[in-house]
A and B are shown apart, each in its own frame.
Chain A
Amino acid sequence: MSIANVLLVDDETAFLETMNKRLTKRNFQVKTVDSGIAALETLSENGEHIEVVILDVQMPGMDGIETLTEIKRKYPLVEVIMLTGHATVASAIEGMKQGAYDYLMKPCEMEILLTKVIEAANKKRRHEQKIIEARMKEITTF
């Protein structure tokens, strides 16, 4: 059983590879894609399995914010952590408004990233649990 199911989105494949290795070594289940569109495709294929998306803000084509908006629209329970090389408060605020779980600046400390991912995954699981409980309640009240 992995700690969390993570989708890593970044246009830098070298970064993706290393992160993949490092996270996998720490017992995370990792999928990597190099664009926003690919991220959405992966999400649609694997559905609810993915718990946390680590998303780079600056990407060619569909950028991080657009991808985030789309993810949150289609899969509201999936938590997203923004990764940015650009320490702009504006883009961070925009991301938070769109429902990102948190944002981190590149390069970031592995420990911090791990903590955030675990928190996000737990949050997602809690939400899911609550939904299940609510449904159960609904069923039992009948």
Chain B
Amino acid sequence: MGNNPPDRLEYYASLKRNIFIAVVIVSMIPLIVFGSITRYEFHTSYAEKVRAHLSIMVKKHAQNIDTFLKERQANIVSLASSYPYEQLADNAFLAQQLTRFQKTYGPVITDLGIINEKGEQISYAGPFQLKDANYAESEWLKQAMASDVYTSDVFMGLRRLPHFIVAVRSLKNGTPWLLRATIDFMAFNELVQNIHIGKTGFAFIINKKIEMQTDSTRSVEKNLFRDAELFHPDKTGTDIMNEPLFQTRTSDSGKEIIYVARLLKNGEWALVFQQDHLDAYSELYRAREVSLLTLVLGGIAIVLMAAWVSRHTTIKIAKADQEKEIMNRQVIQSGHLASIGMLAAGIAHEINNPVAIMVEEAGWIEDLLEDEDFKESENLNEFKRALGQIRKQGIRCRNITHKMLNFSRHSDHRVQLFNLNELIREITNLSSQHAKYSNVTIELNLTEPLSSIKASQTEMEQVIFNLLNNAIDAIDKKEGGKVRIHTWQDDSMIHFEVQDTGSGISEANLKRIFDPFFSTKPTGQGTGLGLSICYGIVQKMNGQIVVESTLEKGSRFEISLPAAESPEETETKTTKTTGSMTS
């Protein structure tokens, strides 16, 4: 693109930019749209899956825990109803019952106790020395006395260990008494602590006061439950007794945390599963990262590709434009030559008539001089010489105009057979004036016979004319010089050489002489197209141009063209064509 003017470069730059943008947009939009849709769909379905999975898990565990609590209640209820107060008040019996329980269900029930209406524990079986302990002031006792079956929240109690109580109220002669069982906190804890998902997923139980009912090694963001909408199902609008509540909240530390909660124990407790959002959706995020990476890599590939395509295309277009321009100039050039030819023809023809008249008039005077009257004149010979000169110069004019006519005549691009030597003679004749003014002698060394070549005569004329003119121009006018034109033939090739004794071409310029618009002539004197056109024409004829040049010694251009046929054939053919022309 080096030869293009700045506005052209700007045009190519904007063309390149437009192609680039178009390619990027067209490629990126589907990629982004497809990627977004897939991502959205995947995200939605995966979130749905996670939600469903967690909900089911929480629901199942909540049911298990409920079942566990109900079973313990049932155990105690059956114990209370199976045996009379007196029997249960016996420490030994109670211990026997505890052993039985522990044998059947494991160490879930830590101890058993019977409490009278005053809150005194009248009998006790278990690891702690709690016989005769008084629970009269305990909160749980009041509540237990108020209902048939009661399960307390977790509390420290007299033993200073977290535990909770299942108590059954029975009546003896109208006086209430309680069968109380302590549920092993550790065993109960296990039910919940076993729930582990991912790195951060764990479960715990809270009561209405947002007090932990299970032990947890992990941090629970209790603050998130402050509004405790969990325990007001009407607030959330969901039936938390059956379907767990699923919520995502932001903790104080800015982490997004998922909560799945379901109520237990007739709505007094809630099983809560907590997991970091990032952890729960880790696979989703990984998939997202992979897809994002793909998108980015794809995007980079597209951008690189677009850059390459736009660059490549622009270079090609620029090249095509340049070729077009050369073609245009060639067309203009040949059109120019053709119009010059027509002009020359017109002038030649217009001049012919007056010249003819002048010659005839001179002839007439000559005729008259033959008469007797003039025979005596002393200047007769001088008259005759002058008239002879007029006629001679008239003939010379005619020769010049005929040459001009001949030259302009065949300005067509039709391919035809012709003899190169004749064409060279014709053109050398035309250039003889130019050569004379430049103090150049043209030496012809034409080999005869020479095969015809098959080409457009006009184009070949251009080639010879250009080479000859260049050769003459290369010679210094003051010093003068020689141009030698030599033709010869070997096998199937016709060679044609123009050699001058001019200034020569420097090595740097030698590489560029066939480039269009390259000229060493002063601005306005050379188009820089001559040799480029020659090159194009010779290439078209399947020929070759070889250049040799030495500075200050001169240059040699050798053109080799395929011969149309062998010399013998040419001769027979020529006679044949002439024959057919006259017939």
Q: Which residues of A contact B (CB under 8 A)?
A: 12, 14-15, 18-19, 21-22, 25-26, 58, 85-88, 93, 96, 105-108, 110
User: Is B359 an interface residue, CB under 8 A from the partner?
Assistant: yes
User: Is B149 an interface residue, CB under 8 A from the partner?
Assistant: no
Q: Do the beta carbons of A25 and B356 come within 8 Å of each other?
A: no
Q: Of the candidates A26, A88, A106, A110, which one forms a contact with B353 in the assembled complex, judged by CB atoms under 8 Å apart?
A: A106
Q: Of the candidates B352, B367, B398, B409, which one forms a contact with A88 in the assembled complex, judged by CB atoms under 8 Å apart?
A: B409
Which residues of B have CB within 8 Å of A107?
352, 355-360, 394-395, 398
Q: Do the beta carbons of B406 and A19 come within 8 Å of each other?
A: no
State the Cβ distance, B169 to closest chain A Cβ, in Å. 139
Which residues of B have CB within 8 Å of A12?
353, 356-357
State the Cβ distance, B582 to closest chain A Cβ, in Å. 7
Q: Do the beta carbons of B363 and A110 come within 8 Å of each other?
A: yes
Report the nearest A residue to B360, measured CB to CB: A18
Which residues of A have CB within 8 Å of B359?
107
Which residues of A have CB within 8 Å of B367?
21-22, 25-26
Report the nearest A residue to B345, measured CB to CB: A86
Q: How far is the CA of A101 from the CA of B409 in the complex (A)?
A: 24
User: Is B272 an interface residue, CB under 8 A from the partner?
Assistant: no
Given contact pairs A85-B349, A88-B405, a sample of 20 additional A-B residue pairs in the complex whose CB atoms are under 8 Å apart: A12-B353, A14-B361, A15-B360, A18-B357, A18-B363, A18-B364, A19-B360, A21-B367, A22-B360, A22-B363, A26-B367, A86-B345, A86-B405, A87-B405, A105-B398, A106-B353, A106-B398, A107-B359, A107-B395, A108-B356
Q: How far is the CA of A86 from the CA of B345 in the complex (A)?
A: 8
Q: Of the candidates B352, B394, B582, which one forms a contact with A85 in the assembled complex, judged by CB atoms under 8 Å apart?
A: B352
State the Cβ distance, B493 to closest chain A Cβ, in Å. 30
| Residue among A12, A18, A22, A88 facing the most chain B CB atoms (10 A cut-off) | A18
Report the nearest B residue to A96, measured CB to CB: B582
User: Is B288 an interface residue, CB under 8 A from the partner?
Assistant: no
CB-contacts of B311-367 with A (<8 A): 345, 349, 352-353, 355-361, 363-364, 367
Report the nearest B residue to A56, measured CB to CB: B353
Which residues of B have CB within 8 Å of A87?
402, 405-406
| Residue among A86, A88, A108 facing the most chain B CB atoms (10 A cut-off) | A86
CB-contacts of B100-125 with A (<8 A): none
State the Cβ distance, B346 to closest chain A Cβ, in Å. 10
Chosen A-B contacts, 30 in total, with CB atoms closer than 8 Å, are A12-B353, A12-B356, A12-B357, A14-B357, A14-B361, A15-B357, A18-B360, A18-B361, A18-B363, A18-B364, A21-B367, A22-B363, A22-B364, A25-B367, A26-B367, A58-B349, A85-B349, A85-B353, A85-B356, A87-B406, A88-B409, A93-B581, A93-B582, A106-B352, A107-B358, A107-B359, A107-B394, A107-B395, A108-B356, A110-B360
Report the nearest A residue to B403, measured CB to CB: A87
Q: How far is the CA of A63 from the CA of B402 in the complex (A)?
A: 21
Query: Chain B 514-545, CB within 8 Å of chain A: the 1/0 string?
Result: 00000000000000000000000000000000
State the Cβ distance, B370 to closest chain A Cβ, in Å. 8
Q: How far is the CA of A93 from the CA of B363 in the complex (A)?
A: 29
The 9 lowest CB-CB distance pairs between A and B, nearest first, are: A85-B352, A107-B356, A107-B359, A18-B360, A106-B356, A14-B357, A15-B357, A87-B402, A18-B364
